[in-house]
Amino acid sequence: MFSRLTRLLLAAVLALAAIGYTAVRLGGAGPRAVAATTPPTIKIGHNAQLFGFTTRKLTIKKGQVVRVVNGDTMRHTVTSFRTNSHGDPLFNVSIPARATARIRATAELAPGKYRFRCLLHPQRMVGTLTVKGSGGGTTGSGQTFALPLRIPKVITGSHPVIPVERAAVQVFAHGPRTMMWTYGGSFPGPTIRRPSGAFTKVTFQDKLTVAGKLSVHLHGDHHASASDGQPDSNLLAPGHSRSYGYPLKDNNKAIPGAFFYYHDHRMMRTGRNNWMGLQGMFVVDNPSERKYDLPGGRYDVPLAVTDRSFTKDNQLLDPFPKDPMQSVTGTHAPPNDATVGTTVLVNGEYSPHFDVATHRYRLRILNSSNFQAYDFELSDGRSFTQLGSGDSLFPKPVVRKHILLGPSERADVVVNFGGELGKRVYLKSSAGSASVKLMQFRVTRRVSDSSRVPANLLTLPAQPPLTTPGIAKTWDINDPAKIGNATYWRINGKAYDPTVSQFTVKRDSTQRWSITNRSMMTHYFHIHEEQWRTISRSHNGSAVPVPAWERGLQDTWQLNPGDTVVVEGTFSDYLGRFMVHCHMLDHEDDGLMAQFTVVK
Binding flags for Cu ion, 509-538, as an x/- string (CB under 5 A) = --------------x---------------
Question: Would you say 24 or 527 has its CB closer to ligand C2O?
Answer: 527
Q: Residue 581, interface with ligand C2O (CB under 6 A)?
A: yes
DSSP state at residue 554: B
* Residue 526 contact partner, candidates ligand C2O, Cu ion, none, CB within 5 to 8 A by sort of partner: ligand C2O
> Taking CB under 6 A as the criterion, which residues in 379-408 touch ligand C2O?
408
Query: Closer to ligand C2O at the Cβ: 78 or 267?
Result: 267
Among 124, 217, 360, 364, binds ligand C2O (CB under 6 A): 217
Nearer to ligand C2O, 162 or 580 (CB): 580
CB of 26 to ligand C2O, least distance (A): 52
> Which residue number, 180 or 592, has a Cβ lying nearer to ligand C2O?
592
Order the strands of the 403-405 sheet from edge to edge: 353-357, 434-445, 424-431, 374-378, 403-405
Closest CA to 505 of 554, 453, 587, 572: 572
Partner touching 266 among ligand C2O, Cu ion, none, CB below 5 to 8 Å by kind? none
Cβ of residue 217: shortest distance to ligand C2O, in angstroms? 5
Q: How far is the C-alpha of 140 from the C-alpha of 79, rounded, in Å?
A: 13
What span, in angstroms and rounded, lies between the C-alpha atoms of 460 and 143? 43
Closest CB to ligand C2O among 441 and 578? 578
Residues in contact with ligand C2O, total (CB under 6 A)? 10
Cis (ω within 30 of 0) for the bond into 287?
A: no
**410 binds ligand C2O, rule: CB under 6 A:** no
Return d(Cα 422, Cα 451) in angstroms, integer. Answer: 21
Residues 220-279 that bind ligand C2O (CB under 6 A): 263, 265
Cβ 265 to ligand C2O shortest distance, Å: 6
Asked if 284 interacts with Cu ion (CB under 5 A), we say no
Of ligand C2O, Cu ion, none, which one sits near residue 584, judging by CB under 5 to 8 A according to partner kind?
Cu ion
The closest of 524, 575, 518 to 228, measured between CA atoms, is: 575
Query: Out of ligand C2O, Cu ion, none, which partner does residue 360 contact, by CB within 5 to 8 A per kind?
Result: none
Outline where DSSP puts E strands in 237-313: 241-246, 249-250, 253-254, 258-264, 279-285, 300-308
Q: Is 69 in the site for Cu ion (CB under 5 A)?
A: no
Of the residues 579, 584, 592, 594, which one makes contact with ligand C2O according to CB under 6 A: 579
One-letter amino acid identity for 258?
Answer: A
582 binds, among Cu ion, ligand C2O, none (CB under 5 to 8 A by kind): Cu ion
Binder of Cu ion out of 305, 567, 584, 598 (CB under 5 A): 584
Q: Which residues contact 292 (CB under 8 A, 6 or more apart)?
A: 393, 452, 453, 454, 457
The residues facing 93 across adjacent strands are 78
Q: Examine residue 335 and say whether the peptide bond preceding it is cis (omega within 30 degrees of 0).
A: yes
Q: Which candidate, 344, 405, 342, 317, places its Cα nearest to that of 584?
A: 405
HSE, CB side, 13 Å, CA atoms: give it for residue 80. 23
When the beta carbons of 152 and 406 are compared against ligand C2O, the nearer one is 406
Q: How far is the CB of 52 from ligand C2O (least distance, A)?
A: 30
Q: Are 330 and 366 in contact (CB under 8 A)?
A: no
CB 368 within 8 A of CB 274: yes
- By C-beta, is 338 or 413 nearer to Cu ion? 338
The C-alpha atoms of residue 150 and residue 59 are separated, in whole angstroms, by: 41
Q: How many CB atoms lie within 10 A of CB 325?
A: 13
Span of 16-24, 66-74, 426-434, 579-587 interacting with ligand C2O by CB under 6 A: 579-587
Helix (H, G, I), strand (E, B) or coil at 255: coil
Quick one: which segment of 194-202, 385-393, 483-491, 575-583 binds ligand C2O (CB under 6 A)? Answer: 575-583
Residues making contact with ligand C2O (CB under 6 A): 217, 219, 263, 265, 408, 526, 528, 579, 581, 583
Applying CB under 5 A, which residues contact Cu ion?
523, 582, 584, 587
